Structure 1
Amino acid sequence: MFRSPPSDQPMSADGPSVVPAATVVVFRHAAEGGPPELLMLQRSDGMRFAGGAAVFPGGRVDPADRELARRILPGEAEEIAAARIAAIRETLEESGLMIATRQPVTAQEAREARALLMEVGRLDIVLERFGWELEPQSLTFFAHWCPLWEKAFDTRFFVVDLGTGAVDVTVDATENSRLFWTSAADALAMADSGEITVIFPTRRNLERLAQYASHAEALADIAAHPVSRINPHTEQRDDGEWLVIPEGLGYPVLGQLKATARRG
């Protein structure tokens, strides 16, 4: 049976050819109290991966992300360090939100930075232009998902807290058609009612995130569970074929009927 390598390592040579990627769950305080709200994007219908689905900001790790990671995070495993950089870059590109900087960023600066990023495609040039320093380790490594098929996304998930509701974000209409803030519980209710669709990993992560009343609770729970590459697999049960994940990684729901699970 194939064994995935540790989460700080790339997929092994005897595994499928996969695409390293990163996703970040951005928390903010709810305006009227209650559970934290999370930033979600609705993918454009024509996108190859998860077209039309609601997802967290993210995308593939670029070579320039690895170059920057080697410079500013030399002591961390490259796969995780580069994923941190990719998560920051993709969040700016997809939502116009600049996260994990040591300096405060105004809405106007974020708009200008996003325009530059769209032009040059590299976060390091943006940082140099605006004189920003990153705090990439403000992103907490949360989970790691990778289906065992060719060209699957090998995705590392992070969480980060804005600590405020006062943020200015705008959807990237090339890849995403809608941007919204919602609690994890409300996102699950929207999925159940058919208002949004979510793929299998997103639903499992929303169920996990719905357990947390704050970002601090999330960090405590994340620290209590190991992060390892989750390779969903099928399991035959009395009521049909299920898509399932392992126990012990912090997830309250471990699977669903494969016929009802959207995988990408």
Structure 2
Amino acid sequence: MRQHQKVAMGFLWGAAVLTVAMLLLIIGYILAKGVPHITWEFLTGAVKGMGDEGGIFPVLVNTLYFIGLTMVIAAPLGVMAAIYLVEYAKETRMVRLIRFCTENLAGMPSIIFGLFGFIFFGKMFGLSYSLLNGALTATVLILPTIIRTSEEALRAVPMSYREGSLALGATQLRTIRSVVLPAASGGIISGLLLSIGRIVGETAALFLTLGSGTYIATSLTKSARSLALHLYTLAREGISEDMAFATATVLVVVVVGINIGANAWVRHLEKKRTT
């Protein structure tokens, strides 16, 4: 039996090492090809021509606008929906149907969401190719992920926390706000990070909704190109391999930076809650 456990542990360690090695290999290759082409002009300049010249500053700003707007819409909706499903809703047929639909939507190809956004938000509401259309479509895309991860985080909070708060005379709403949500904040923020990671690298859905404007969007109805769409355009059209790798490097840095910042925030919240 111990021999079997050692073999199983060896396979687990091997899988873990292989996964990390593949990740480091991919990131290392991108950085090695992209870092030499990153200059101050590239980071602060405007897109010129087809993207083979100039920089990516407007695209970078549009990406941050897009992420911020999407999360402002999606995060409250997703977390509040999870709170209702876990804390208030009874296990009825409707609730089971909602969970079934949520699980299926989470695995649906993103191009379906893009087509929905193109027709529903773009055609019916007249948003066309715009920052708002892209953000609304991305919201629909990531809501299932936010809801499911937030649900799991809320369910992981021991029932004794709720019972203790209620026994001290707190209302259910105050218990959720002051006890449950702080305890589940780590899992909820992890779900939000997963969602950001998905939309920041999304191309199919945004190609039909966000547009390809290479200037900084001055309003929600303006077309805006994200870093992922810019990278896709450079690579697909064969415009410039060097610019494509440099854009990919910046995209990796943005994602890693968001993750590091969010994890630091979670640790700060955990430390504040325990002191």
Q: Which has the higher helix share?
A: 2
Is the TM value for this pair above 0.5?
A: no
TM-score by length of 1: 0.23
Larger radius of gyration: 2
Q: Which has the higher strand share?
A: 1
